[in-house]
Amino acid sequence: MTARRRALVILTGLAVFVAGWVAFVSHWSGPVGQGIGVAGARAADLDAFRDELLVWAPGGFSEREVGKVRDSTRVEAISAVRTGLLQAASGRRGYRVIPVEAMGVDANAYTTAAGQPGRRLVNLLPKGAVLSRTGAKLRRVRSGGRLRLAGAHPVPVSGVVDDALLGGYEVALDHSLARRYGIRRVSYLLVRPRGPVDGLERQLRRLLKGRRLHFVTPGDRPFVRGGDAVLPLAQVKAHFGEFALPSLRSGRPDPAWMRANLVTRRLPVLGRVRCHRLVIDDLGKAMDDLQRQGLRGLVDVAAFRRQGGCYRTRLLRDPQLGGKLSRHAWGIAVELEVTPDERVIATMARHGFTWGGSFARPDPSHFEWVGRGA
């Protein structure tokens, strides 16, 4: 073989290697440098859940309440969605748990609710864990693989579907399997009305008197799921990185993640703030914006510092629904004592922060990053 031919062979081999490496990186990496991109489509784009009305309330629903809704003459079909956190195995000593947001559903009922786009689920759910595309990337696992859980046997992965079909959750399990992992409390209901929707809403308010019911029409949000309009955990991880914990209830994120993602900077109005590196610029711009408008006096800086600022080690919230992680653990939320003023709320929204005063359980000092259009 001539020297020129040898060189061509080597160059061809290198080109193939580079192309393969680019494909691998494109598959596993995301636009914000966290090792993963945001996957999946909107429910509206898939035409999923279009005949459903989503019903949720703070604290979820008891089995008795679910029964009342199921027996309503204005309900044609119902799917009760149970939610909670699974403990994925990290393989790291001292930080062995990775929180994974999961749902437990009846395969037939949920498939009926999802409609034509979700028909695969009726066969997949009884066979093991169904992962969203983002969940599969986070776990580095494909259909036919296994979901490794801390302190438990691995669960077969029976399929991977669009994020929207799982309401933004990372994992879906059949409700009987979900119960083994403590996912029992019904978080929200997918209800197919019989007759006009407003008639159903009125009847449910009578049946569940005293509950603060919220009704969501699919298409109003990117993901058909209960709770306030904030980023699902899978999307938080995709944007800001995933960390391991000593346990779901105590400890801090693993030090490697903290070093890579948390920064301390002096910002207008607030002074020194420790926050996620991908959010701190938006927070700084929001404070600069308030200062330019002459609104800095509406922010109680002393209260901001007393309440922990941006990053805090607080982890689990809402244990009755299986728990959810505080976004302060990622450094993407701020406790900002402000005088109630639409100008402040609008300014924070322009820079990506939604206001907790609009939550089901109002938290007027809470602002949480969700991205542009908040």
**Is the alpha carbon torsion for 97, 101, 105, 107 positive or negative?**
negative
Summarize pLDDT for 270-283 with one digit per residue, the tens: 999 999 999 999 99
Phi, psi angles (nearest 5°) of residue 15? -65, -40
82, 184 Cβ separation under 8 angstroms: yes
Summarize pLDDT for 285-325 with one digit per residue, the tens: 999 999 999 999 999 999 888 887 899 876 655 555 455 78
Question: How far is it between the farthest Cα atoms of the chain?
Answer: 87
Summarize pLDDT for 115-165 with one digit per residue, the tens: 999 999 999 999 999 999 999 999 999 999 999 999 899 999 999 999 999
pLDDT higher than threshold 70 for residue 234: yes
Nearest to 301 by CA among 262, 335, 329: 335
According to DSSP, the residues that pair with 97 across neighbouring strands are 89, 245
Residue 270 CA: distances (Å) to CA of 192, 213, 281, 331, 353 = 48, 37, 13, 15, 16
According to DSSP, the residues that pair with 325 across neighbouring strands are 316
């979820």: which residue's tokens? 60
């449910």: which residue's tokens? 204
pTM: 0.86
Domains by residue range for the chain, with CATH: 43-220+227-238 (no CATH), 249-369 (3.30.1380)
pLDDT higher than threshold 70 for residue 222: yes
Q: Residue 160 corresponds to which tokens in the numbers above?
A: 């991977």
According to DSSP, the residues that pair with 172 across neighbouring strands are 103, 130
Termini Cα distance of the chain: 64
Residue percentage of the chain with pLDDT more than 70: 85
* pLDDT for the residue numbered 136: 97
Q: What is the CB-side half-sphere exposure of residue 184 using CA atoms within 13 A?
A: 8
